Copies of this chain bind each other. A is one copy, B any other.
């Protein structure tokens, strides 16, 4: 339970630059300045980083995965521990997904019905059932500041007929979520999720149905699931102008620096992705001059900082040669120093976007990043498939 927060859920747009918006969202545990990137803490930890690291990187809000937290340590345990924030020592806001995305990615081990979805745990094979009401109760136990409705995310390539039926189910589930979680209960906001695959008519239909329900914000689900970058960007630009203007917009599981800038340009306010942390653990680091594969021999003797334009502990303290050594020697410290930098890079990107929108120079900022990270033929494989969890 949370003391009442004045203006809870209020989303204020302070400035715009084209479609891009500079806003703020009032949550029970702090005001989130948007556009914002949310690091992913799948099972109660943004991998290898402690809350101090996240603070130092400038994180305002992080994401937790309901499916994972439900299985381990368990949402009822979390409730008894005072919620996820207290459990993990993070005093700022948390957003949780509904767990649906993970369950639907367990392709062979789930059964969908009107009532919900049955699935087997990836940990011990035990059988579980998620209904809209159940995922609301779980997120209540987790105590996140922003909850997401249960939705079905259809696979890339699903046909028009299946996708149409699926979005209707997602709408019915969304209504049940709203009924199970009355507005601002426990100080927790609730967002709807727009589905409809890669059919514009279905996306519009999904949005129109969800817009009739009283949500605190809207997410775009089902992108970055295997489509090409032009397909994703096309759908994004088609959809955002149709979304309610006065509510926050969240593009789920996206993406690369260029994807995020494209989303901001289209008027999206919130992003999350495992890319910075997962790539950090693979030795792929984002810098002001492009991506650095730190394992490459060319960095063996490189005494310079990873990124001279970055103020993170990693860049202030260590050379590329040392970071390469740690990576090659498979030292645990490598994962942390790399993650700290990449998360800082993504949060700096969001901060710079906010400043640029305020100053009416967002297009120039975006162009600068495009010049650095110009999408190549393999650009869309950057993140690998979007699994929504950092595992």
Q: Is A73 an interface residue (CB 8 A)?
A: yes
Q: Does the CB pair A319–B81 fall under 8 Å?
A: yes
The listed residue (B43, B313, B321) touching A77 by CB distance below 8 A is B321
Q: Within the assembled complex, what's the spacing in Å between the Cα atoms of A319 and B80?
A: 13
What is the chain B residue whose CB lies nearest that of A328?
A: B72
With contacts A81-B303, A321-B87 known, is A313 near B52, CB below 8 A? Answer: yes
Q: Mark A307-349, 1 if CB is under 8 A from B, else 0.
A: 0000001000111011001101101110111000000000000
Least CB distance, A204 to chain B, in whole angstroms? 41
Q: Does the CB pair A44–B77 fall under 8 Å?
A: no
Q: Does the CB pair B333–A48 fall under 8 Å?
A: yes
Count residues of A near B (Cβ-Cβ below 8 Å): 36
Residues from chain B with a CB closer than 8 A to the CB of A77 are 300-301, 321
What is the chain B residue whose CB lies nearest that of A321?
A: B81
Q: How many monomers of this protein are in the complex?
A: 2
Q: Does the CB pair B50–A336 fall under 8 Å?
A: yes
Q: Does the CB pair A329–B44 fall under 8 Å?
A: yes
Q: Is A13 an interface residue (CB 8 A)?
A: no
Q: Does the CB pair B332–A301 fall under 8 Å?
A: no
A residues 47-71 near B (Cβ < 8 Å) are 47-52
Q: Is A105 an interface residue (CB 8 A)?
A: no
Q: Is A240 an interface residue (CB 8 A)?
A: no
Q: Within the assembled complex, what's the spacing in Å between the Cα atoms of A325 and B43?
A: 9
With contacts A51-B317, A331-B45 known, is A301 near B336, CB below 8 A? Answer: no
Residues from chain B with a CB closer than 8 A to the CB of A336 are 48, 50, 332, 336
